[in-house]
């Protein structure tokens, strides 16, 4: 390596380090005006899932919680907003079909806004996660249909990540009234809406009745998982009947079936897993 | 005599070349040809197929009897991610289309094999609102024309894709861009700007096709001293929006261009821009030579729901009347007299809650309580509208107007927002209303004479696909699940479908080469062509 080469490499490394350092901290941290500008941007680009005020809607986590699963530093948050989170509904900047692509400055404004909304402690103490796990795999029968960390049933959505991506209120709501907002299933790369966990009853040409949930569907075919976790791949024009329902296959867990305290414990368990 | 022998052989070689080379025409695409596009149904020479906006093909080789046998003929992969909204053009055996990030390409229309490809070197800081999309080219003479995401208008050589001219229409850093397919009229290339989300002042431009020199500009927001200026509060006109991002039509009989315009800015906040906000959400009838306005019709006055009227205007002649129709984003189907701009009828064709009265002209009027609030409340249709940019079609055989529609309601919220150049300027936001789920998507067949929906086909989920009708008694459209579907035009019954593996955001066309009919559409990241086996 020539001396000139070495110098250039050293300069490059220093410059790269400087650039990284510049990205590592929020240049607008604590700036009230930037937080206000961030609020406008947040309403346009983020509130769709994270709710007005960043408290979390039915689809995205509550960002006012100081502890976040995917982001610790402002730099983490910048990366997540810019690039999205693979395998989740969190899209890369400018690709959510709503709002416009944000500049770096606008992303920092949003981070400033989110930080300004954070509350340092949970509003309510969490329940007993150990007891929640017992209930999940035991008396509450959740695991008959839901998997957590590779264990459980397949008929309902995998709940391993739900504690990190949904608000506590949304989780409680979907146990108490599962049909009010059906869970999202498969998301296809180019499709506007994710598939939803609709209930279905199909009767084949030879009179066989299939009951379950749709894994996917289009105008001409449907892919069903029945309550025995068998997959049925059906062409609609070959069916004797095909009935869908937005009544969730999951039973309603009223307070007399599952007490508020037990539900809090299950939610605490899901949050403890989701935070991993 | 050696020399003569060589000459004879050479002449024979040329002769054989002409014989075996197939379509070698590539004649200049003159304005005359564009005017008489109906006389050459094998070609698709403008965004909507001809100047009428009907997106109707005279081809009938593929028809209701044999459509069920259709097969895929070829697929062209653009290799890019993101939506394809392009409508291809086909002239004399060559298909021209555009792709993501301002790609343009020419293909052998029989095989899908590329002849040339152009990709623009876009600045890294462009910020198009709704995807890095382009809806297609215009063709005239030996050039194709394209608007770019960095707000240039360019002419490419049709045989090579080489850039012939490149002119700046506006500054992309203030949110101006082009996504629209231009319209070539006479010797002009007519194009409308995008940027309603950034508070641009909208305009429609006409450029000399030969040189790129700008011949006229019509600002869709009138300046001081111009009629309509008083429909804007204070200085709000300067950032008033009213973009013109979908392709208009041309009426040779009156030498008028009909061009639709989009939302006033900020889209979700009416406070600060009191007044009707002309000429947002309107049809404009412009003199093709001068760009001077003959008449306008505003569909949604003082819009607060982002209901651009940028749907393709469709010219319909019926019972001696010269009409122009639009299935509007606000949920109403409008028919106007295209000579005068007077409203003939307005009928809801989807779920609407924003209007229950009409003014003296018959125009639906917004209820006060439909205005967005700080906390937000539900209004139908939602911000994406009952329909949007997806091209409709009018079939003169069935007399029906076919359009992709959706029933979706949104929660509209509004909050004050200062204008800052180059920053999104919405005045808050909208959210899909969960209570209104599921959102429904349809293909609807409307009788323009009555506004009645004659039949509808319900998709599994809402789609962004445009629609084509053909003399074969067929209507073609796509869905969000990736299917391309042929429907019986009279009944709406699906006769054939093909799974393309990606959602449709584009509109179909029909063309023929070597006497064989094809139907083409873009889906996912590819362009597909179908035909009979």
User: Does pLDDT of A262 surpass 50?
Assistant: yes
- Domains, chain A: 3-117 (1.10.760.10), 129-178+251-274 (1.10.760.10)
Chain A nearest-CA distance from B144, in A, is 29
Nearest to B389 by CA among B23, B134, B144: B134
Q: Is B32 an 8 Å CB contact of chain A?
A: no
Q: Is the peptide bond before B266 cis (omega within 30 degrees of 0)?
A: yes
Q: Higher model confidence: residue B54 or residue A17?
A: B54
The answer, yes or no, to whether residue A2 has pLDDT greater than 50, is no
CA distance B80 to B100: 6
User: CA-to-CA distance for B407 and B312, rounded, in angstroms?
Assistant: 20
Q: How far is CA B143 from CA A142, A204, B140, in A?
A: 65, 56, 6
Cα dist. A170→A42, A157, A162, A193, A260 in Å?
A: 20, 15, 10, 20, 14
CATH class of this structure's domain B44-119+129-523 = mainly beta
pLDDT of B103: 97
**Does residue A21 surpass a pLDDT of 70?**
no
- Residues A189, B502: C-beta atoms closer than 8 Å: yes
Tell me the pTM.
0.91
Share the mean pLDDT of chain A: 87
pLDDT for position B4: 47
Check whether the bond before B438 is cis (ω within 30° of 0). yes
CB neighbour list of residue B157: distance below 8 Å, 6 or more residues apart:
B142, B143, B163, B164
Which of B172, B424, B458, B484 is the best substitution to test chain A (most A C-beta atoms within 10 A)?
A: B424
Beta strands in B299-356 (DSSP E): 314-318, 321-327, 332-337, 343-348
Q: Residue B430: what pLDDT?
A: 83
By mean pLDDT, which of A96-100, A116-120, B264-268 is the weakest?
A96-100
Least confident segment among A129-138, A165-174, B257-266: A165-174
What is the reported pLDDT for A166?
87
Report yes or no: B128 at the A interface, CB cutoff 8 Å.
yes
Low-confidence ranges of chain B (pLDDT < 70): 1-27, 435
pLDDT of residue A1: 39
Instruction: Dig out the tokens for A100 from the structure.
Output: 């416009």
Predicted local distance difference test score (pLDDT) of residue B25: 52
| Shortest CA gap B456–chain A (Å) | 14
What pLDDT score was predicted for residue A126?
81
Contact, B86 vs B19, CB < 8 A?
A: no
What does the alpha-carbon distance between residue B478 and residue B530 come to, in Å, rounded to a whole number? 13
Residue A38 CA to residue B224 CA, distance in Å, equals 34
**For chain A, first and last CA: distance in Å?**
45
Distance in angstroms (rounded) separating the CA atoms of residues B13 and B8:
8
Query: How close B431 comes to chain A (CA, Å)?
Result: 5
Which band of pLDDT confidence, cut at 50, 70 and 90, is reported for residue A212?
very high
CA B37, B249, B252 angle in degrees (round to 5)?
65
d(CA B109, CA B91): 9
Closest CA to B145 of B175, B190, B115: B190
Tokens matching residue B165: 């001219």
* Rounded Cα–Cα distance for residues A166 and A175 (Å): 13
The sheet carrying A221-226 orders its strands as A231-235, A221-226, A209-217, A199-204, A239-245
Digit-coded pLDDT (tens) for A64-88: 877 677 778 899 999 999 988 887 8
Active site positions of B, annotated: 306
Q: How far apart, in whole angstroms, are the C-alpha atoms of residue B55 and residue B466?
A: 10
Q: Is the minimum CB–CB distance between B174 and chain A shorter than 8 Å?
A: no
Q: Name the DSSP class of A60.
A: S
Q: What is the pLDDT of residues A27-43, one digit of tens each?
A: 999 899 999 989 888 88
Residue A199's φ and ψ, nearest 5 degrees, are -85, 150
pLDDT at B455: 98
pLDDT in the model for residue A120: 63
> Could you give the angle at the alpha carbon of A79 between the alpha carbons of A47 and A160, nearest 5°?
70
Which tokens sit at B79?
A: 């290799």
Cα nearest neighbour of A222 on chain B: B460
Cβ proximity of B531 and B62 under 8 Å: yes
Domain segments of chain B as ranges: 44-119+129-523
For residue B14, the model assigns a pLDDT of 47
* Structure confidence at residue A123 (pLDDT): 61
Q: For chain B, report the end-to-end CA distance as a whole number of angstroms.
A: 51
Task: Spell out the residues 6+ positions from residue B412 whose beta carbon is closer than 8 angstroms to its own.
Answer: B268, B304, B305, B372, B373, B376, B377, B378, B379, B383, B430
User: How confident is residue A125, by pLDDT bands cut at 50, 70 and 90?
Assistant: confident
* CB of A61 less than 8 A from some CB of B: no
Cβ B459–A196 below 8 Å, yes or no?
no
Tell me, what's the pLDDT at A215? 97
Does the pLDDT of residue A99 top 80, yes or no?
Answer: no
Query: Does any CB of chain B come closer than 8 Å to the CB of residue A237?
Result: no
The interface predicted TM-score of the complex, written ipTM, equals: 0.90
Closest residue to A219, CB basis, from B125, B438, B483 = B483
Confidence (pLDDT) at A14 = 47
Rounded-to-integer distance, Cα A146 and Cα A157, Å: 6
């Amino acid at each position: 390596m020539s001396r000139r080469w070495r110098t250039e490499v050293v300069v490059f490394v220093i410059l790269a380090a400087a650039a990284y350092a510049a990205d590592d901290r929020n240049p607008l941290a604590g700036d009230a005006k930037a937080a206000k500008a961030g609020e406008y941007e947040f309403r346009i680009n983020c509130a769709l899932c994270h709710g007005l005020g960043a408290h979390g809607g039915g689809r995205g986590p509550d960002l006012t919680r100081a502890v976040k699963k995917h982001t610790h530093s402002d730099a983490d948050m910048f990366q997540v907003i810019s690039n999205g989170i693979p395998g989740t509904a969190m899209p890369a900047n400018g690709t959510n079909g709503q709002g416009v692509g944000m500049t770096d400055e606008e992303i920092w404004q949003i981070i400033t806004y989110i930080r300004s909304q954070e509350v340092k402690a949970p509003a309510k103490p969490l329940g007993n996660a150990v007891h929640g796990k017992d209930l999940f795999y035991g008396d509450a029968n959740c695991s008959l249909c839901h998997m957590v960390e590779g264990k459980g049933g397949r008929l309902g959505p995998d709940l391993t990540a739900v504690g990190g991506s949904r608000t506590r209120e949304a989780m409680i709501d979907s146990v108490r009234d599962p049909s009010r907002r059906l869970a999202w299933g498969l998301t296809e790369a180019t499709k506007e809406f994710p598939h939803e966990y609709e209930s279905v009853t199909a009767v084949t040409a030879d009179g066989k009745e299939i009951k379950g949930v749709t894994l996917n569907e289009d105008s001409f075919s449907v892919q069903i998982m029945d309550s025995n976790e068998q997959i049925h791949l059906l062409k609609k024009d070959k069916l004797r009947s095909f009935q869908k329902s937005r009544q969730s296959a999951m039973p309603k867990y009223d307070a007399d079936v599952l007490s508020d305290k037990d539900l809090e414990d299950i939610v605490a368990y899901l949050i403890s897993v989701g935070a991993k | 005599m050696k020399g003569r022998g060589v000459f004879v052989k050479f002449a024979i070689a040329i002769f054989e070349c002409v014989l075996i080379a197939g379509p070698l025409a590539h004649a200049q695409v003159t304005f005359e040809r564009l005017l008489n596009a109906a006389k050459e149904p094998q070609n698709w020479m403008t965004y909507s197929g001809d100047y009428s906006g009907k997106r109707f093909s005279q081809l009938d080789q593929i028809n209701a009897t044999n459509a069920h046998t259709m097969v895929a003929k070829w697929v062209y992969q653009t290799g890019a991610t993101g939506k394809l909204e392009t409508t291809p053009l086909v002239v004399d055996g060559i298909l021209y289309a555009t792709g993501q990030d301002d790609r343009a390409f020419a293909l052998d229309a029989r095989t899908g094999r590329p002849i040339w490809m152009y990709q623009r070197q876009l600045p890294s800081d462009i910020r198009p609102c709704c995807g890095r999309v382009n809806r297609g080219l215009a063709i005239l003479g030996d050039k194709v024309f394209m608007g770019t995401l960095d707000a240039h208008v360019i002419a490419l050589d049709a045989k090579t894709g080489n850039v012939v001219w490149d002119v700046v229409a506006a500054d992309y850093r203030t949110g101006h861009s082009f996504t629209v397919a231009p319209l070539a009229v006479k010797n002009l290339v007519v194009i409308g700007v995008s940027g309603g989300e950034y508070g641009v002042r909208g305009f429609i431009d006409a450029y000399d096709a030969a040189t790129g020199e700008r011949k006229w500009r019509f600002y869709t927001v009138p300046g001081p001293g111009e009629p309509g200026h008083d429909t804007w509060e204070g200085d709000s006109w300067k950032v008033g929006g009213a973009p013109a991002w979908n392709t208009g039509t041309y009426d040779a009989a009156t030498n008028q261009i009909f061009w639709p315009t989009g939302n006033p800015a900020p889209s979700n906040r009416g406070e600060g821009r009191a007044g009707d906000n002309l000429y947002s959400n309107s049809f404009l009838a412009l003199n093709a030579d001068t760009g001077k306005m003959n008449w306008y019709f505003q569909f949604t006055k003082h819009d607060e729901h982002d209901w651009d009227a940028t749907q393709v205007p469709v010219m319909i002649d019926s019972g001696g009347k010269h009409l122009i129709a639009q299935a509007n984003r606000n949920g109403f189907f409008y028919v106007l007299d295209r000579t005068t701009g007077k409203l003939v009828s307005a009928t809801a064709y989807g779920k609407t809650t924003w209007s229950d009265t009409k003014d003296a002209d018959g125009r639906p009027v917004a209820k006060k309580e439909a205005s967005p609030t700080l906390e937000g409340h539900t209004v139908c249709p939602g911000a994406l509208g009952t329909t949007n940019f997806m091209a409709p079609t009018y079939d003169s055989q069935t007399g029906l107007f076919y359009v992709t529609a959706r029933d979706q309601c949104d929660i509209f919220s509004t909050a004050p927002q200062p204008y800052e150049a180059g920053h999104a300027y919405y005045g808050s936001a909208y959210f899909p209303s969960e209570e209104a789920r599921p959102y429904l998507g349809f293909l609807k067949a409307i009788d323009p004479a009555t506004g009645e929906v004659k039949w509808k086909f319900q998709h599994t989920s809402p789609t962004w696909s445009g629609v084509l009708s053909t003399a074969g008694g067929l209507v073609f459209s796509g869905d969000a699940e990736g299917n391309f579907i042929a429907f019986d035009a009279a009944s709406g019954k699906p006769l054939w479908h093909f799974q393309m593996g990606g959602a449709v955001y584009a509109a179909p066309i029909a063309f023929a080469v070597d006497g064989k009919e094809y139907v083409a559409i873009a889906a996912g990241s590819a362009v597909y062509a179908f035909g009979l086996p």
